Structure 1
């Protein structure tokens, strides 16, 4: 399990085309990628399982806990990105709920674009 950040402070100001926003880059793939949004409610749980492939979890709202052994848990909050390698065991849970984007692809390498946390 590796931790990265995509918070506002890690991004770059974009002014091209008269724009005014901050872009925090996440990943780039050349092969197929699956992208979904997970909504955990109060006492929500993504049960302990092995990643079927490289997986990146991007916390966009709420907060929760992640673990790779169900013994030690790490707090995650908006702007945090958690990366699991293929076959790595993991679990995500939240007392009050969280929303996260999940990206799965054989080519994921978040260290190419995001700073470590």
Structure 2
């Protein structure tokens, strides 16, 4: 058994796309799948940009807001999962702080495993 840290002190500050958050990488597979842990502190933001590949955001703590190419923000909190298709514009922000796992891969299809939120 081995134990690893995904806390924000093991992460790297990201400023691309006018962002302000800490990314803690978790794993990369041979199938070009990237999994990371994002730590948005108070006022943190993952800046508005296009998804390079399909992307799944799993909120594990805190709360925040997400949007796509519309100007409307939707509240997300622990237990929510948000999926963006390749090339879809999106942004995530938090007033109080948010921690999320992000999974990026050309082969993502979350509807195979998770029901839609009502």
Aligned CA RMSD, in angstroms, stands at: 1.5
Distance 2:108 2:51 in 1: 13
Give the greater-gyration-radius structure (CA): 1
Structure 1 pair 68–111 and aligned structure 2 pair: CA distance change class (3 A)? same
After superposing on structure 2, the runs of 4+ consecutive aligned residues of structure 1 that deviate more than 2 Å are 29-32
Structure 1 pair 70–93 and aligned structure 2 pair: CA distance change class (3 A)? farther
1:31 to partner: Cα distance: 2.7
Higher relative contact order (CA 8 A, sep 6+): 1
- Is contact 2:69–2:88 with CA below 8 Å preserved after alignment? no
Given the alignment of the two structures, is residue 107 of structure 1 paired with residue 107 of structure 2, yes or no?
yes
Structure 2: tracts of 5 or more residues without a match: 1-28
Given the alignment of the two structures, is residue 82 of structure 1 paired with residue 93 of structure 2, yes or no?
no
SS at structure 2 position matched to 1:63 = strand
TM-score by length of 2: 0.72
Q: How many residues align?
A: 89
Structure 1: tracts of 5 or more residues without a match: 1-28
Distance 1:51 1:87 in 2: 5
